[in-house]
Amino acid sequence: MQLHNLKAKTKRKTSNQIGRGGKRGKTSGRGTKGQKARAGHKIRPELRDYIKKLPKLRGHGKNTNFSIQTKPVIINLGDLGSVYKAGDTVSPTTLIQKGLLSTAKGRNPSVKILSNGEISIKLSFKNCTVSEGAKTLIEKAGGTVEAMKSTVVPKVTKVKPVKK
């Protein structure tokens, strides 16, 4: 066996070079004229054009994005005493049923209980964030506060608030 007798097992693959004459002819598969027909063409993302058109505000910190998280609806302890009876559970769904809250885009809003006002009834709180001051007042009245399991707001089942 000699070098001139050797043959490759596979044929050599040659890649089609675009824009250098050859089989494609004239425009070489690039269409006619324009930015896309040129060598080294780069197209700016469409989103960037929208960003450029946004108004720019003067001053520090006015161009930053606003928080995506929704702020919780604040309810004071004093408001609950007149609506709930002793032994009831307070949750976003029961607050909607009692008419203290309304749904936000078909979902139960997140609720935060604050310590404004007095409470003398034993209540248990579920799926609500509670301030430390409110927690001490609730426990003093004999109530309980369950820790929130997840930060995901549960989807509401069709509940119509009771009108007073």
The domain segmentation of the chain, as residue ranges, is 73-145
In this model, does residue 24 exceed pLDDT 80?
A: no
In this model, does residue 138 exceed pLDDT 80?
A: yes
Q: What is the pLDDT of residue 152?
A: 47
Strands 111-114 and 129-130: parallel
In this model, does residue 22 exceed pLDDT 50?
A: yes
Q: Quick one: CATH architecture of 73-145?
A: Ribosomal Protein L15; Chain: K; domain 2 (3.100)
The arithmetic mean of pLDDT across residues 118-136, rounded, is: 91
Categorize the per-residue pLDDT at 139 as very low, low, confident or very high, splitting at 50, 70 and 90: very high
CA distance linking residue 65 with residue 49, whole number of Å: 18
List, for residues 75-87, the tens digit of each pLDDT value: 999 888 888 998 9
3-state secondary structure 125-151: ECCCEECHHHHHHHHHCCCEECCCCCC
Q: Quick check: pTM over 0.85? A: no
In this model, does residue 63 exceed pLDDT 60?
A: no
Q: What is the pLDDT of residue 2?
A: 92
